[in-house]
Amino acid sequence: MSLLSKLRCVTLDVTGTLIAYKGELGDYYCMAAKSVGLPCPDYKRVHEGFKIAYTEMAKKHPCFGFAEKIPNIVWWKTCVRNSFIEAGYDYDEETFEKIFRRIYGTFGSSAPYTIFQDSQPFLRWLREKGIKVGLVSNAEYRYQDVILPALGLNQGSEWDFGVFSGLEGVEKPDPRIYQIALERAGDVAAEEVLHIGDSMRKDYLPAKSVGMHALLLDRFKIRDAENWRKSGATVLPDLVATRDWLTCSER
């Protein structure tokens, strides 16, 4: 008997699983600075600055400021400003405002993202089989409302429900986000759900901890994947292989 025949719901991570970033973050920050007539910032410094700033913001104001009701644009404005400052660029208020508007607008659109070719067919195939599809992501509301629809991933045709950390106030790897997903799925037991993601810490382990099945995608042939396999996790290269794996009766 295939695993597919035992499932009533499949949940998926979004970034790295269904979609990916195009290029590097520094590219977009550089383009924003150039658009207001400034020299291009150093890509690497900006990228490193962003990692520091984002980590600090996520620690001080988790889930994009959900608990404190910080407006999304304010959270990101602080993060972007601190990214530039960490990289050694302290722009005046008027200049920064112009740069930030460009960056915020860009990352609120489909422009910086690409959808994997197998994502839409896989999600539609699941739904045609009568399986509920949920998305579980550490993302803010624009993923649900703007970015995913712009990429052709629409609620109702590709997925049934979403659990986004910026809207829920809880984020992976907290197992509670998976409990929310189970509630959204309706009358479905944890053992009837499979979660697919690309992180052992954020996807595989917390999903398993609430009783779900789980597997990991290694789309980019990363070094950690071998350790994932050694730990007993199912690791597949893409969603085409996942479909084959789900329908295989000899496993």
Model confidence, pTM: 0.94
User: What tokens were used for 188?
Assistant: 């479905």
Q: 135 near 11, Cβ under 8 Å?
A: yes
Q: What is the DSSP letter of 42?
A: P
Beta bridge partners of 11: 134, 195
User: What would the pLDDT profile of 173-199 be if each residue is shown by its tens digit?
Assistant: 999 999 999 999 999 999 999 999 999
User: What tokens were used for 17?
Assistant: 């699983």
Q: Is the pLDDT of residue 249 over 80?
A: no
Question: Could you give the 3-state DSSP secondary structure of residue 235?
Answer: strand
Residues 6 or more apart from 162 whose CB is under 8 A from it?
134, 135, 136, 137, 143, 144, 155
Distance in angstroms between the alpha carbons of the first and the last residue of the chain: 9
The C-alpha atoms of residue 131 and residue 112 are separated, in whole angstroms, by 30
Q: What is the DSSP letter of 38?
A: P
User: What would the pLDDT profile of 215-230 be if each residue is shown by its tens digit?
Assistant: 999 999 999 999 999 9
Q: 184 near 132, Cβ under 8 Å?
A: no
User: What tokens were used for 9?
Assistant: 């719901």
The C-alpha atoms of residue 71 and residue 138 are separated, in whole angstroms, by 17
Question: Could you give the 3-state DSSP secondary structure of residue 15?
Answer: strand
Residues 6 or more apart from 194 whose CB is under 8 A from it?
3, 7, 9, 10, 11, 212, 213, 214, 215, 246
Output the pLDDT for position 26: 84
Output the pLDDT for position 207: 98
